[in-house]
Amino acid sequence: MPSHPPRRLLIALLLCAFITPLMSPARAALPMADSQNAPLPTLAPMLEQVTPAVVNISTRGRVQVQGNPLLQDPFFRRFFNLPEQPSHRDTQSLGSGVIVDAANGYILTNSHVIDKAIEITVTLQDGRRLNATLVGADPEADVAVIQVPAENLSALKLADSNQLRVGDFVVAIGNPFGLGQTVTSGIVSALGRSGLGIEGYEDFIQTDASINPGNSGGALVNLRGELVGINTAIIAPGGGNVGIGFAIPTNMSQQIMAQLVKYGEVKRGKLGVSAQNLTPELAHAFDIQQATGAVVVQLAPDSPAAAAGLQIGDVIISVNGHDTASAADIRNQLGLLRVDDKVKLEILRGNKKLTIKTRIADPEPNKIEGKQFDTRLEGTLFSRIEEGSPLFGQIDGVLVVETKANSRAWRAGLRKGDVVVSANRHNVSDFTSLAEALKTSRRGILLNVVRGSSALFILIQ
C-alpha cells in the first residue's frame, strides 16, 4: 500500500509553489496596456480647440537709412562716379498673434511685432492669408491690436490672470523661427515681474515654457485652454532660451486693448507723484510696521496728488483697492488709467492709515514749440524732464531739446541741453510756469539756464 505524505507537508508544498513566482526578481519592461484601453494623459484635445485662434503675423516695413553725409552730396557722387544712395530700406519681421474677438476680427499681439509696418499679413492655421489693419498700438506696454475680416474665425477665451499662481501649468503657442505653429509647455515660475527694463510698464508672468524668436505676440494658455498672457520676451544671455520667458497678463492687455479699440491709442493721465520702494531701513526710519509699499519722494506742483493732500514721506499701500508692493506697482496701476478716472489711495502717514481720493489729470505734452509761448522763441523746442533722464529729480526746469541755427534764441546763446530754471526772474518748473513767466516779456525774454555744472543768463530780444 503506497504511503501518503503527511498533511502538513502537503500544505507546505502547495504554499511554496504559490509564493515562489511572486518572489522572482522583477524585470524592467514597458507597461502593458490595461484591459480598458484607458488613454494616456495628453494636452492634444485642449490644443485642438486652442491652436486655430493663434495666428502667424508677417510684416513688411520701411525704415530710413542713416547714410554717410558725403555719399548724399551730389558733387561728391559725381566726382567719384558713385551711384545714387537709397534713403530707405525694406524690412520684414515674423511674429504671432491671438484672436480674442472673432465677431470683430480683433487680434492681440506685441507692439514690436508690427512696429513701422506698412503691410501686415495674418496666416491662419487653416492656411488662409488675410490682410490686417492696425487698430492701435501702445509701445510703452508692448501691446497692439490688429483687425482682419471676421470670417469663420476662432477666438480664445480670456482668463482672469489675477488667479494665476506660481506652479500652475501653462502652454506657450507661437511661430518660433518661422517654423510654423509650435507648442511648448512649462509652469508659471513667478508673477509680477518688473524693473527688467524691457517695457515702460511691466507686470510680467515669468514662465519656463520656451518662448523663442517668433513666439512674440503668441498665446500663453492654462490647461483649460484659456488665455492667461501674451508672450513677449526672454532672457537669453548666451543667445538661446534658458527657461526664463515673460508674458503680459491678460488683465493688463485687455485693459489696454479696450482703449486701443475705442480711442486708437492709450492716453495716460497724470497724478503727479514719484515714489520709491519701501525698504526695511526706510520702514524703521519712518517707525512703521509695514513691510511693503511705495514711499512718496516727489510731488509735481499743482498736480492732483498735491491738491488732494498727499505728502512727501507718505507710504502708498494700495491703489483703487489693489495692494501696492513697490514703486513699479504704482506705475503699472496708474498707467492703465485714463484722464478723469477716479483714484483712491490708501496710505500710511506715520502709523496712521488714511484714504486720499483724487482724479487723473490731463498730462502736459512732452514737447512744446517755443513759438507757442512767445514768437521770439520760434525755432526752439522745449521738453519736460522725464523719468529716465539723468536730470530727473536733480533739477526743476524745462529742457531745451532743439534750437535752430540763426533763430533768435540761437543767436542769443541758447543751446540744446540747456535747462531753463527761471524766466523773467520767475522760477520755472514746468510748461505752465514757463508760460506764466513769459507773459511779462515786453522788453525781452530773460532766461536763467543751467548748462552742465554752470549757469548763465540769456537775453532774447
CA 183 to chain CA mean position, Å? 23
Q: Distance of alpha carbon 395 from its chain centroid, rounded?
A: 28
Any catalytic annotation for residue 216?
yes
Q: How far is CA 22 from the centre of its chain?
A: 62
The answer to whether 115 is a known catalytic residue is no
Active-site residue flag, 322? no
The active-site residue, picked from 96, 101, 112, 396, is 112
Check: CB of residue 78 under 8 Å from CB of residue 109. no
Distance CA 9, CA 414 (A): 116
Question: Active site residue: 138, 142, 203, 396, which one?
Answer: 142
First CA to last CA distance, the chain:
144
Considering the candidates 216, 253, 407, 433, report the single residue annotated as catalytic.
216
Contact 271, 361 (CB under 8 A): yes
Would you state the cell numbers that stand for residue 175, as one nine-digit string? 511661430
Q: Which residues are catalytic?
A: 112, 142, 216
